[in-house]
């Protein structure tokens, strides 16, 4: 089994989530910066899977180590699936939740359904695969909680927002957690050498 892989990100939150889930397997997860890679490929795919693979390939070509890359976002039913693959570019950094709440202000409870989606690409040199995770929920009416990032403060899971959950609670239900667990199962079976 591999003992080291690079995550194609410099996002400290994504890196922390990956380390929390993969380190019990004895896998050291490095950021692309820690691996000496400085690239920011154009994520021009039309799906989360395409964007994840674009990032993974760019970082793999730069470092030659096994790489994982994720692309994830929020898909809101009342907005026709938006922001979707454009979640990170939907609004200026830090204003995503405010913009979303503004667009959703007249949407009734029963039509506020949404899901976080995550695709993780794995490239080992001998193979490439995609793992998918999702987390169903709804969009709240205000920002709540401080334990998350991105859209977590408005994404409701039951009576709480994702940002009101502990790290363990979030990892157990999150879209990225689900995709990482699928990846773990795959690697645990001796794949990905």
Q: Give the active site residues.
A: 71
Q: Can you tell me the distance from the alpha carbon of 125 to that of 60, in angstroms, rounded to the nearest whole number? A: 8
What angle, rounded to 10 degrees, do the helices at 175-188 and 12-22 form?
40
E strand or H helix at 110, and its extent? Answer: none
Half-sphere exposure of 186 (CA within 13 A, CB side): 19
38 preceded by a cis bond (ω within 30 of 0): no
Under 8 Å between Cβ of 83 and 92: no
Helix H segments across the chain?
12-22, 48-63, 96-103, 167-173, 175-188
- Residue 36, exposed/middle/buried by CB under 10 A (0-12, 13-18, 19+)? exposed
């Amino acid at each position: 089994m591999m003992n080291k892989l690079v995550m194609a990100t410099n996002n400290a939150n994504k890196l922390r989530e990956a380390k929390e889930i993969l380190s019990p397997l004895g896998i050291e997860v490095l950021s692309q910066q820690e691996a000496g890679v400085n690239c920011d490929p154009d994520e021009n795919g039309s799906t989360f899977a395409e964007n994840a693979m674009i990032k993974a390939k760019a970082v793999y070509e730069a470092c030659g180590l096994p790489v994982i890359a994720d692309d994830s976002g929020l898909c809101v039913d009342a907005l026709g699936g938006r922001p979707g693959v454009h979640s990170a570019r939907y609004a200026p950094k830090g204003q995503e939740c405010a913009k979303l709440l503004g667009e959703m202000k007249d949407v009734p409870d029963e039509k506020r359904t949404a899901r976080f989606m995550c695709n993780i690409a794995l490239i080992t040199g001998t193979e490439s695969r995609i793992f998918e995770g999702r987390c169903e929920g709804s969009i709240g009416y205000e920002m709540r909680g401080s334990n998350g990032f991105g859209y977590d403060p408005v994404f409701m899971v039951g009576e709480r927002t994702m940002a009101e959950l502990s790290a363990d609670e979030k990892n157990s239900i999150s879209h990225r957690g689900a995709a990482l667990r699928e990846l773990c199962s795959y690697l645990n079976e001796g794949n990905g050498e």
